[in-house]
Amino acid sequence: MDFAYTPRLNDLKARARTLTDTIMAFELECEHNNGLSEQSHATIKAAVLDAGLQAINTPAEYGGAGLSILEQAVVQDELGKLTGALWDTVWRPANPLAHATPEQIERYLIPEARGDRRDAVAITEADAGSDFSSATTTAKPDGDDYLINGEKWFVTVGDVADFMIVLANVEPDNAPTMFLVDSDAPGVSIKNVPRYTHTFVYEHPEFTFDNVRVGSDAVLGGVGNGLELTRDWFTEERLMIGARTIGAAERALTLAVDWARERVQGGQRLIDRQLIQGMIADSVVDITVNRAYTHQVAWEFDQADLTDPTVRKTLHAKAATVKLAASEASNRVVDRAVQIFGGRGYIRDYPVERLWRELRVDRIWEGTSEIQRLVIANEANKRGLDKLLSFPQE
Ligand SMILES: Cc1cc2nc3c(=O)[nH]c(=O)nc-3n(C[C@H](O)[C@H](O)[C@H](O)COP(=O)(O)OP(=O)(O)OC[C@H]3O[C@@H](n4cnc5c(N)ncnc54)[C@H](O)[C@@H]3O)c2cc1C
């Protein structure tokens, strides 16, 4: 067993840190303007390409950085320090695109890896959230085409994405299927752009699909495979949320400790007060334990035989454990950081305030904390605790 970072992981972490520092300069612009100017986006895009951290999950032969899951987690851990969700400017094609046909790779994946196109994933509906299998968007066969009808909510990056991966049920058997839909296709429209608690560099609009015609070449990953592709997407995304929230927590704690060392009240530095020390110690525990487990599961993912459905299910539950533990722990850390900053911790210009506001959604999206608990308990029931609790054997 070896827990040391390899020179390659060290190098990736250093590159990700440099890129994070560059993008951090845009945080206040994003907070004050609820987004970035075209010029700022262009500067960030150039920095991402310069760092070689574009499309980190996409094979190098298609123009991505081609990183393993552990390597991606190390990069996301650094990027997670950014507020305004500026980590999302470091584009990463949605995982279902791994099932793209050669034509879809040419048309969607390769331009996206270059940073010239952008996707959004549209699964959730007004009445299909945690239970996304109850989605009612339909795809009706019409000759060689399909006509898509329905409504999708919370479509992150939907305001700038030029294509969407849409989950719809193919009639007449209601076969859940993913479709690649160009955002400018006739019948696609934005219904509403809600304001959310966090400031996010992109929007999360609601979309309607009104008789949107797509060809059979728009089917991604085969008719009827939509739910399985969604679950696989969740597995990787939940690991990356774990990694990002830990990075965010580290930034908040670092700022809080620096502040506690400087700030004097009642003749003593805050750091010398035992109640403050308790908050710092609990935060160190939350970060270190969760970073270790996130790295462990990411590493297991890279070793695993993903063609084995049982292995995939166990990893799905382990990724749920990561997401549940890390997002809840990081929310505790950023809350304590706000407390240590006192009134300043409640001012939006202070990063701890933004981190506190922005990490809240990590307990909701990609499956709420309650849903992660259901996934974990379901695995314990179906395949037992052994695999959930143990390390893989050589
Ligand atoms: C900012 C933001 C961005 C998002 N981006 C995207 C996106 O890009 N694409 C996309 O498709 N979706 C996206 N989502 C949707 C997100 O994944 C859902 O909001 C989430 O899965 C929860 O669904 P819901 O909001 O319908 O809540 P509900 O499912 O209605 O849940 C409400 C509450 O009930 C609980 N609950 C539900 N079912 C159970 C159960 N069986 N047992 C116990 N408790 C339960 C939940 O845990 C929660 O506390 C986004 C959401 C947000 C807020």
Distance in Å, CA 131 to ligand 1 centroid: 8
Give per-residue burial for 76-106: e unless 16+ CB within 10 Å, then b: bbbbbbbbbbbbbbbbbbbbbbbbbeeebbe
Q: State the CB neighbour count (10 A cutoff) for residue 368.
A: 16
Atom of ligand 1 nearest to the CA of 370: 47
CA distance linking residue 43 with residue 25, whole number of Å = 11
DSSP state of 385: S
pLDDT in tens, 130-145: 999 999 999 999 999 9
Atom of ligand 1 nearest to the CA of 198: 1
171 neighbors 140 (Cβ within 8 angstroms): yes
Ligand 1-lining residues (CB < 6 angstroms)? 121-124, 129-130, 154-156, 196, 204, 361, 364-368, 370-371, 374
CA distance linking residue 362 with residue 376, whole number of Å = 17
Q: Please identify every stretch of the chain with a pLDDT value under 70, giving residue numbers as ranges.
A: none
Instruction: Identify the CATH assignment for 7-93 out of 1.10.540.10, 1.10.10.1100, 3.30.565.10, 3.40.50.150.
Output: 1.10.540.10
Distance in Å, CA 366 to ligand 1 centroid: 7
Distance in Å, CA 365 to ligand 1 centroid: 6
Test site for ligand 1: of 133, 154, 195, 209, most ligand atoms within 8 A of the Cβ: 154
Atom of ligand 1 nearest to the CA of 158: 8
Atom of ligand 1 nearest to the CA of 120: 8
Test site for ligand 1: of 203, 364, 378, most ligand atoms within 8 A of the Cβ: 364
Test site for ligand 1: of 127, 198, 368, most ligand atoms within 8 A of the Cβ: 368
Residue boundaries of the structural domains of the chain: 7-93, 119-220, 226-389
CATH architecture designation of domain 119-220: Beta Barrel (2.40)
- 344, with CB counted inside 10 A (0-12, 13-18, 19+), is middle
- The residue written with tokens 């525990």 in the block is 285
Distance in Å, CA 141 to ligand 1 centroid: 30
The reported pLDDT for the residue numbered 273 is: 98
103 CB-side CA count, 13 A: 8
Residue 190 Rama label (left phi>0; alpha psi -120 to 50; beta): beta
CA distance linking residue 327 with residue 355, whole number of Å = 12
pLDDT in tens, 153-206: 999 999 999 999 999 999 999 999 999 999 999 999 999 999 999 999 999 999
Of 19, 103, 21, give the one whose Cα is nearest residue 56: 19
SS3 169: strand
Of 190, 98, 102, 186, give the one whose Cα is nearest residue 145: 186
Q: State the CB neighbour count (10 A cutoff) for residue 38.
A: 7
Q: What is the CA radius of gyration of the chain?
A: 21
Q: Maximum Cα–Cα distance for the chain, whole Å?
A: 80
Distance in Å, CA 367 to ligand 1 centroid: 6
16 neighbors 82 (Cβ within 8 angstroms): no
CA distance linking residue 223 with residue 173, whole number of Å = 11
- What is the CATH code of the structural domain delimited by 226-389? 1.20.140.10
CA distance linking residue 252 with residue 167, whole number of Å = 36
113 neighbors 102 (Cβ within 8 angstroms): no
Distance in Å, CA 325 to ligand 1 centroid: 18
Distance in Å, CA 368 to ligand 1 centroid: 6
CA distance linking residue 222 with residue 100, whole number of Å = 10
The token duo for 199 is 């400031």
CA distance linking residue 94 with residue 188, whole number of Å = 20
The token duo for 287 is 């970060």
